[in-house]
Structure 1
Amino acid sequence: MTPNKLHYAVAAALLATLALAGCKKNPSTMENETAPPPAMTEPAPPAEPMPAETAVSVTSVTLGTNAGADKTIATPMTSFAAKDPIVVSIATNGAASNVDIGAKLVYQDGQTAGEQSQTINTTGMETTNITFTNANGWPAGSYTAEVSVNGTQAQSTPFTVN
């Protein structure tokens, strides 16, 4: 064999060896092969939509100087003394999460005398109490307790301070 033919024969044998080595499957790599696609199945039914949250509504507002363990006011009042605490008891109904229940005391000239809110999570009837105090005493006159749900006024209750 001439040197050129020998080179061609060696090159061809080398290429054949490489080609066969590339086709040989290594058992350790066989586990990484992709499995055939699963048989076609019927698609899953769509998930049930979450029920819409029921809005929370204010059913009543009661004012007093103290509330019982059940958060209700035993002796509702419409007239307070200057040094009295003013408890705004707000009864609500509905189901929702993170509902802002607010109360604002508005003096006769429209000035805000106090404002507070609480965030509640409820699934039905609930009572929320917001207590206002004034270390200097409330100025005598007419007031309104304005109650809101998520920033929207729901009810107002007039009262006086003597």
Structure 2
Amino acid sequence: MSRTRILYPLSAALATALALSACKKPEPTPPPAPAATTPEPAPITPPAASTPAAAVTTVDLGNSVGADNRVAAPATTFAPRDTIYASVATRTADASASVPGKLSAKWTFQDGQTVHEESRDLNLTGDGVTAFQISKPDGLPAGRYKVEISLDGSVVQSKEFEVK
């Protein structure tokens, strides 16, 4: 009987504890912590369309140039003993500012073989014309040729021509 006396009060205490825990209101979940506020990024402004400082506007080929370095009569077919000129017209974005640049001409024969290369360091101002030339005392071999004009290392124009 002593056992029963202890068992009943313990059972009653356990039942009461369970009943109270089952009736207990759940604790409200705390609201989520506010997200760390990051400053809104500044709007990205697209870069203004930049005008190149200098540009090659035209390339003309001929067998003579005037005092202004312009080709007198443009041509695409030449004789083997002709001196062939490439007249390269340039223009700067700001006609009042001097723009440094490197202008180059690369002359190649039909299989891509380089015949002649020439470069000039220039201070371009406004509009200008530069002449490059190629010739051989014993005559250029007959065939198809090309001249590539580069400004600051980038090919900007090319012209094909023929020697007959």
Rounded to whole Å, the distance in 2 between the matches of 1:116 and 1:89 is 13
How many residues are aligned here?
A: 111
Paired residue for 2:125? 123
Q: Which of residues 43, 48, 67 in structure 2 aligns to 1:69?
A: 67
Deviation, structure 1 residue 53: 9.2
**Deviations for 1:55-86, whole angstroms, at most 9, x for unmatched residues?**
21110000011111121111011001111111
Q: CA deviation at 1:151?
A: 1.2
TM-score under structure 1 normalisation?
Answer: 0.64
Per-residue displacement from partner, 1:99-157 (whole Å, max 9, x unpaired)? 11111111110101111111111121110001112122111101111000011100000
Identity across aligned pairs (percent)?
40
CA distance in 1 between partners of 2:52 and 2:141 (Å): 40
Gap runs ≥5 in structure 1? 1-51
Matched, 1:144 2:146: yes
Structure 1: distance between partners of 2:54 and 2:150:
11
Identify which range, 122-131 or 52-61, moves more after superposition.
Answer: 52-61
- The CA distance in 1 between the partners of 2:57 and 2:99, in whole Å, is 18
Among 100, 118, 130, the alignment partner of 1:98 is: 100
**Residues 87, 129 of structure 2: 8 Å contact kept:** yes
Q: 2:78 aligns with which of 72, 77, 80?
A: 80
Distance 1:119 1:60 in 2: 19
CA contact (8 A) 2:87 2:131 kept: yes
Q: Who wins on radius of gyration, i.e. which is larger? A: 2
Instruction: Tell me, in whole angstroms, the C-alpha distance in 2 between the residues paired with 1:97 and 1:132.
Output: 27
Name the Cα RMSD after superposition.
Answer: 1.7
**What is the TM-score of this pair, normalised by structure 2?**
0.63
CA distance in structure 2 between the aligned counterparts of 1:155 and 1:137, rounded to whole angstroms: 26
